[in-house]
A and B are shown apart, each in its own frame.
Chain A
Amino acid sequence: MRTLYSCLGALAALGILVMGDAAAQTASPPNLKEWFQEHDKNHDGKVDREEFYQGIIEIFYFRDKNKNGILTIEELQGVVSPEVVKAASRKGDNRLTLDEYVNALFRDFAAADTDGDGKLSFEEIDVYIRTNRR
């Protein structure tokens, strides 16, 4: 099953890369480092699951324009394709609950965590983006 990241080939789902940005196709998103530092709350050089989770919720909250607790295709427009939303949705519909959104992104977290320490280094995220970018 394709996850949000791999479908995007980037961290677009986290809102730090706009899909279709041609300039970003061959390099890391320019604000990836900033995003990483911002979410590495304990400054240990890695983003752990809790830090990642907090980042996801914040993005979900700000993308949820009408604050109804659900993200629709319209609210994810320009970030993910409708197919990605349907794949991540348990009901296969055009909307994502926070749980569905979190689950999809944590599958990418696991895939990106190549050393299996339960945390993501900047390099792991960077490599994951480059490897999965389409």
Chain B
Amino acid sequence: MRRGLDQCVAVLLLIVIAATACTTVQENPKTAIGGLGGAAFGGLIAAAAGGGGAAIAGAVIGGALLGGLVGNMLDQRDKRLQAEAAQKAFESSPAGKPVAWNNPDSGHSGTVTPVRTYQSNGQYCREYQTTVTIDNKQEKGYGTACRQPDGSWKIES
């Protein structure tokens, strides 16, 4: 009897956890997907551009959720190539023009495309779309990066 009750409670808990997770993703899909770009290469952009430790930590914190999962599937060279593509896209690519990266060793590839530019408190920010292709499956993400005084780009969302 007691064992049956425990099992019921465990099942209910699992349902609640699953439902909560689904709601979080569905309520704000842009934020959730945006994490893919942010956490995946946010810190690396700052690092590639010579940003300091604080900038790197801030950028990583700016990303979330899916970013960590996707990030785990990319190797170090993937991340470096992705960060270089992002830096190039944010700094010098017109809106709508993608900058591609490709790692023949891992077979992973992707793009970073600025989609909108604006100024915020005198700082340039660019909204972007990013794709990552792993095992022929493409994931898309959206986010915003803002240019720091030292020339690095920090993922804001």
Interface residues of A (CB under 8 A from B): 38, 54, 57-58, 61-62, 67, 69, 98
Residue among A57, A61, A67 with most chain B CB within 10 A: A61
Once bound together, how far apart are the Cα atoms of A89 and B96, in whole Å?
A: 30
Given A54-B95, A62-B94, A98-B119, 6 new contacts (CB under 8 A): A54-B116, A57-B119, A58-B95, A58-B117, A69-B119, A69-B124
Contact of B147 with A by CB under 8 A:
yes
Contact pick for A69, options B95, B96, B122, CB 8 Å: B122
Q: Find chain A residues with CB under 8 A from B122 CB.
A: 69
Q: How many residues of B contact A (CB 8 A)?
A: 13
Interface of A is mostly: helix
Is B147 touching A57 in the complex (CB atoms < 8 A)?
Answer: no
In the assembled complex, how far is the CB of residue A128 from the closest CB belonging to chain B, in whole angstroms?
Answer: 23
Q: Find chain B residues with CB under 8 A from A38 CB.
A: 96
Once bound together, how far apart are the Cα atoms of A61 and B114, in whole Å?
A: 13
Is B119 touching A54 in the complex (CB atoms < 8 A)?
Answer: no
Residue among B95, B118, B147, B151 with most chain A CB within 10 A: B95
In the assembled complex, how far is the CB of residue A100 from the closest CB belonging to chain B, in whole angstroms?
Answer: 12
Q: Find chain B residues with CB under 8 A from A98 CB.
A: 119
In the assembled complex, how far is the CB of residue A69 from the closest CB belonging to chain B, in whole angstroms?
Answer: 5
Is B117 touching A67 in the complex (CB atoms < 8 A)?
Answer: no
A-B complex: 8 closest residue pairs judged by Cβ atoms: A69-B122, A57-B117, A61-B117, A98-B119, A58-B117, A58-B95, A58-B94, A61-B124
**Sampled A-B contacts (5; CB under 8 Å):** A54-B116, A58-B95, A61-B117, A69-B122, A69-B123
Q: Find chain A residues with CB under 8 A from B95 CB.
A: 54, 58
Is B94 touching A67 in the complex (CB atoms < 8 A)?
Answer: no
Once bound together, how far apart are the Cα atoms of A61 and B96, in whole Å?
A: 15
Is A57 touching B118 in the complex (CB atoms < 8 A)?
Answer: yes
What string of 1s and 0s marks CB contacts (under 8 Å) between B19-37 and chain A? 0000000000000000000
In the assembled complex, how far is the CB of residue B114 from the closest CB belonging to chain A, in whole angstroms?
Answer: 9
In the assembled complex, how far is the CB of residue A49 from the closest CB belonging to chain B, in whole angstroms?
Answer: 15
Once bound together, how far apart are the Cα atoms of A98 and B119, in whole Å?
A: 8
In the assembled complex, how far is the CB of residue A98 from the closest CB belonging to chain B, in whole angstroms?
Answer: 5
Q: Find chain B residues with CB under 8 A from A54 CB.
A: 95, 116-117
Once bound together, how far apart are the Cα atoms of A98 and B124, in whole Å?
A: 11
Once bound together, how far apart are the Cα atoms of A62 and B93, in whole Å?
A: 9
Q: Find chain A residues with CB under 8 A from B94 CB.
A: 58, 62
Q: Find chain B residues with CB under 8 A from A67 CB.
A: 124, 147, 151
Once bound together, how far apart are the Cα atoms of A38 and B95, in whole Å?
A: 10
